[in-house]
Each structure stands twice: as structure tokens, then as C-alpha cells.
Amino acid sequence: MVDDSRWEKVTNLTGFDGNECFQCGACTATCPLGYMGEETIDTRNLMRRAQIGLDLSEGIWNCSTCKLCENSCPRQVNIVNVIRGLRQLEFEDRKAPDKIVAMLWDIYENGNPWGGKKSDRSKWSEGLQIKDADNGSDVLLYVGCDAAYNKNLHGSLRSLADLLKKAGVDFGTLGNKERCCGEPVRNAGEAYYLDDLVRDNIATFEKTGAKTIVAFSPHCEHMFEKYYRERGLKIEVKHYSEYLNDLVKKGKLSFKEGKTGKITIHDPCYLSRYDGGGDDLREILHSIPGIEVKEMESSGKNSLCCGGGGNRMFIDFEGKRLSDFRMEQARSTGAETVLTACPVCNMNLTDSGKTNGIDLKVKEVSEFLEENVK
């Protein structure tokens, strides 16, 4: 039965975004999960159900929010937004997976989804003597949970800090006071807690008096630029690749003729599709003299997701992973190093490389730049 009261709720939660869909199905067939043979999502059917308020089908928690489906949508439906709305409905109906609920409790209690302690957040910066942003600095470096609680990424964070210092940037962090940006909360459909979290974070950021927030993760950067912005954040926000590129353009950073070897670039969804193409990433890499970039089959706005977005990191999925496929794509370019600029991508690609025995270095762009900086 078509249930009109449920439909009203769905359309409100999805901001009417699904209504325009005319059910061509390009989204379902575009979804990279389907390509991988991973448990896929019938995106078109989800849109259909959002349009008429029927009970949800399977697969709603599989979405990595990579937005690749929206590339080919002729009606330019904000598909990911509809999916987030549908997740909210699931959450409210207490149908969210247990692991997601547990992850939310982690954020609530410890300020991060990884179960790490609040006091461990700034461990990466030990010995670097980074300013406390509360004491006033031009730039607030927002570290983000993924890098802060993953030892393997600490080096990348330190590289970024070094580069900023080298360029003479006045920056600070919130140290252990930093809390999750709320992206996992948003993707879990927990709207009420998200409101609180975002409000608190905005107040914390604004209090520092910083002019610019530089985010290490594109996920956080997107959250600030789009979600926080609509809710009153005034400070300028940049992903570090864009900020560093600005420094290069201003002549504050430059690179030596390096022996970089052949590299390829894995564009993070949240940089390329969400924020317009990953141009800064390429520009800054190409400013390294003598660099040899081999592009993958899918790059730029058509980049393939690593499979880690949309809270997929917190749920176990079986079978072949997107990052496995992506690493194979990277290898087939003949490159020696695959660069990326997102902690989630970094974790997934590294892991896939190890499990599949692919002899290809996965490196964060910050680290790579530091190696080549003059």
C-alpha cells in the first residue's frame, strides 16, 4: 500500500530531492560497487521508494557516498542526499546496523568514531611544538579523526605540519580538544546529535579567531565548507592540497628537481566530485619539476571510490573491495607510487596493496611533497 504519511516523512527527510528522478536507472548501473561484484545498491529503486514512500529495500548502508552515480544522472538528482535522508529514516526507525550505533556512541563519548581516547588525538604531533589554536593563529589545522587515530598516517600529518612551517604559515591545532567533524554522524542519519555537534564545533572554531581552516581530510573539508557553512560557519575553509597549492603560487613553497619516479593519482571522491575535479592536486604535483604522472583509467571527476566513504569503514563487507580494483588499476599504469590526499583512501589502498601483494607504494600527497620540497 502506498502510505502517504510515510511518504510525507520521506520527502521531508530527503528534501524532496528524489522527486525529480524519472527512473532511468543509470545510477544503479553506474554504482562502482556493482562493477566490483560487491554487494550493490539498487539506487534507482531507492529513489523510487523515496518518491512514493514505500518501505526501504536492501543496500542503504552499502553506499560509500562517492557520488559517481550523480555524474551521469540526467535529472541531476542529489542522490547521495536522498540516501542520507533514507538513512535518517532507518535510524529513526531503529533499523541502523549495530556497528553504526556503536560508532556513534564512540563519537559521543570520545569525540572520534575509532574508539580512541580523547587524550591520544594529538599523539601524532609529539615533539613538533605546534601551537594551540586557541592562543590565536592565522590558520587552524583541522587534523580529523581518521589520521589522528591511525598511526600509519601520522607521518603524513607531520609532513603537512613541516610544509606549513617551511612556508612560514602561522598555524595551530585544537590538540586534544578537537572533536569529530560529524561526517560519520551525518552519514548515519543521526540528525539531532549532528546538530549539537556542529553547533559546538562552529563555536569552537570561531573562538580561535583563525582566518582559515585547513583540513587534512577532504571529508572534513567538505563537511565544513558545505554543511557547516549553511549553519553559520564564517571562517574560510580549505583542503590542504588547495592551501599548499596557494602557497606554491605565492612562491612560499617550491620543489627541487626530484627523482620521484612514475606516479599515479587516486582522486578522493570528496575532492574530485564533491568539490570540483581535484585540479589543485594535479596543479601542485605538476609544479614538481620532472614529475612523471601516469593517469589511471578513471580519474578526476570520474575517479573510482576506494570504497571507504559513507561509514563503510565501520561495517564489515565481504568479497573483493573497490580499493583492490583501484590498486590494480594503479598498477596497470606502470607507476611506482600511487598518491592520494585522503586518509580514508590512504588506509584502504594501503591495505589492499598488502592483502593482494601489489608492490606499489601508497603515499599521502603531503608526504610526497615534503620529500621533494626545496
Partner 1 sequence: MRTLAVLNEDMRRASNMADKVMIIGGGIAGIQASLDLAEAGAEVLLVEKTASIGGKMAALDKNFPTFDCSICIEAPKMSDVTHNPNIKVLTLAEVTEVKGEEGNFQVTINQKPRFVTDACTRCDLCVQACPQVLKNEFDAGVGARKAIYTPFSQAEPGPYTIDIESCLNDPPNYLPCGRCTDACGPEAIDFNMTPNVIKENVASIIVATGFDLFNASLLEEFGYSSDPDILTSYELERMLNAAGPTEGEIIKPSNGKHPENILFVLCAGSRDKRFVPYCSRTCCMYSIKEASQLVDHGIKDVTVLYMDIRAYGKGFDELYSRSQKDIRYIRSRPASVKRKGDAISVRYTTNDGKIIEETYDMVVLATASIPSKGTEKLAKTLDLELSEDGFFKNRLEDPVSTTRKGIFVAGCASGPKDIPDSVTEASAATAQALKYVKKREWIEEPAPPPLDVSGEPKIGVFLCDCGSNIAGVVDVRKVAEEIRALPNVAYVEENKFTCAGSSQDAIAEKIKEKNLNRVVVGACSPKTHGVTFQRVCSRAGLNPYLFEMANVRNMDSWVHKKEKVPATEKAVDIVNMAVSKARLLTPMDDIEFPVIRTGLVIGGGPAGIAAASSLSNMGVEVHLVEREDKLGGLLNSIDVISPELEKADKTLQKLQDGLRRSGAIIHTSTTVKEISGFVGNFSAALSDGTKVEAGAVIIATGADPYEPTEFKYGTDPEVITSLDLEKNYSKVEGDKYSIISCVGSRKGDKGCSRFCCSTMLQQAIDLKEKGKTVRVFYKDIRAYERNAEELYRKAGEKGVQFFRYEPSKSPEEAIEFDGTSLIFVDDLSSTKMKAPVDHLVLNIGLKPKDEEIFTQLKLSRDSEGFLLEVHPKLGPVEAAVQGVFLAGTVQGPKGVKESISQGYATAAKAAKLLFRGKIDKEPIIPQIEQSKCVKCLRCAEVCPYGAIKGERGKWINLVPAACMGCGNCVAECNIEGAISMPNFTDKQIMTQIDAATAEKPEEKLVVFACNWCSYAGADQAGISKIQYPPSARVIRTMCSSRISQKLVMYAFSKNPGAVLVTGCHINDCHYIDANEYTEKRVDRWKRFLEAKKVNPDRLQLWWVSAAEGNRFASKIREMDALIKSLSKDEITSTESKLKGVVRR
Residue window 140-179: x/- pattern of binding to partner 1, with contact defined by CB under 8 A: ----------------------------------------
Of residues 19 and 152, the one with the C-beta less far from partner 1: 19
- Nearer CB in complex with partner 1: 20/138: 20
Look at residue 310 and give its three-state secondary structure: coil
Nearer to partner 1, 75 or 286 (CB): 75
51 counts as binding partner 1 under rule CB under 8 A: yes
> How remote is the C-alpha of 80 from its chain's centroid?
14
Instruction: For partner 1, give the closer residue by CB, 55 or 230.
Output: 55
Residues 20-49 that bind partner 1 (CB under 8 A): 20-30, 34, 40, 42, 44-45, 48-49
Of 5 and 135, which has the nearer Cβ to partner 1?
A: 5
Smallest gap, in angstroms, from Cβ of residue 83 to partner 1?
16
Q: How far is the CB of 13 from partner 1 (least distance, A)?
A: 13
Footprint of partner 1 on 71-100 (CB under 8 A): 71-72, 74-76
Site string for partner 1, 2-21 (x = CB under 8 A): x-x--x---x----x--xxx
| Cα 133 from Cα 141, distance rounded (Å) | 8
Per-residue cell: 360:
606499489
The three grid cell numbers given for residue 300, joined into one nine-digit string: 578526476
| Residue in 130, 133, 106, 101 with CA at minimum distance from that of residue 117 | 106
DSSP E strand boundaries for the chain = 131-132, 139-142, 171-173, 212-215, 236-239, 262-265, 292-293, 337-340, 361-364
Place of cell 569503514: 313
The nearer residue to partner 1, 45 or 125, going by C-beta atoms, is 45
Residue 4, H or E segment: helix 4-13
Type and span of the H or E element at 87: helix 79-92
* Smallest separation (angstroms) from partner 1 to the CB of 41: 10
